[in-house]
Amino acid sequence: KQEVTQIPAALSVPEGENLVLNCSFTDSAIYNLQWFRQDPGKGLTSLLLIQSSQREQTSGRLNASLDKSSGRSTLYIAASQPGDSATYLCAVEVRTSGTYKYIFGTGTRLKVLA
Amino acid sequence: EADIYQTPRYLVIGTGKKITLECSQTMGHDKMYWYQQDPGMELHLIHYSYGVNSTEKGDLSSESTVSRIRTEHFPLTLESARPSHTSQYLCASRAGTGVSEQYFGPGTRLTVT
């Protein structure tokens, strides 16, 4: 059974720091991995989607990498800002019982201090 | 910007009432999903649909039901709300073919008293 773990559960950093969020999954048979951010009481906003054949994706100050064989992905945030404060979730798409589903981690709660 | 909408955003209702949470998207996506999320916890898939007249139960057992009569609309119904149904309900959609991002609505926070 696929399990997704995100470490650390919470992180507090001063503004301007570069930081790395980690996501690990137990089964390397994934189709893609997607990073989201979630603001308190809101839905999820898609940040980056990495296909299983890709190693990384970049969007602005965000860079996500994927190492399928080791079951790991990282989300790198450059020059963090207070507006980056949110919970960051990773999710892997797997095939189970003939259907494709996303399995989510519990997230990393990030606070960027001004 | 994803065009997926959920209403109501917040709902407080008494035990035993029937409720319907609305979800609609204007992107023409075939695949739609309902997730349940408790505070600080991961999302759990409760229902999904791959197109009109297609609905399936997800991984988390739920007493809710869904319907998919139109591509853009995927409502979730609770026939008799209970306090254990108190949670946040998130609707999502994605294109039906190829590798595609999943887009989420803003969520409905349901409280059953």
| pLDDT tens digits, one per residue of A59-105 | 999 999 999 999 999 999 999 999 999 999 999 999 887 788 899 99
Of A31, A99, A104, nearest to B43 by CB-CB distance is: A104
Long-range contact pairs involving B46-53 (C-beta distance under 8 Å, separation at least 24): B46/B76, B47/B76, B48/A99, B48/A101, B49/B74, B50/B96, B51/B96
pLDDT, residue B13, reads 96
Q: Which A positions 42-71 lie with beta carbon below 8 A of chain B?
A: 42-46, 49, 51
Instruction: Return the bridge partners of A46, or none.
Output: A36
pLDDT band at residue B31 using 50, 70 and 90 as cut-offs: very high
Which residues of chain B does A101 touch, with a Cβ-Cβ cutoff of 8 Å?
Answer: 45, 48, 58-59
Interface A–B counts its CB contacts (< 8 A) at: 52
pLDDT, residue A97, reads 78
pLDDT band at residue B2 using 50, 70 and 90 as cut-offs: low
Instruction: Show the tokens assigned to A62.
Output: 């965000």
pLDDT at B23 over 90: yes
**CA B21/CA A95 separation, integer angstroms:** 28
pLDDT at B1 over 80: no
Which residues of chain B does A102 touch, with a Cβ-Cβ cutoff of 8 Å?
Answer: 33, 43, 45, 102
Verify whether the Cβ–Cβ distance A49 to B101 is below 8 Å.
Answer: yes
Verify whether the Cβ–Cβ distance A45 to B99 is below 8 Å.
Answer: no
pLDDT, residue B42, reads 87
Check if the beta carbon of residue B49 is closer than 8 Å to that of residue B31.
yes
User: How many residues would you count in chain A?
Assistant: 114
Once rounded to an integer, what is the mean pLDDT over residues A10-19? Answer: 96
Pick B41 or A109 by higher pLDDT: A109
* Shortest distance, CA A99 to any CA of chain B (angstroms): 10
Q: Tell me the pLDDT of chain B averaged across its residues.
A: 92
pLDDT band at residue B71 using 50, 70 and 90 as cut-offs: very high
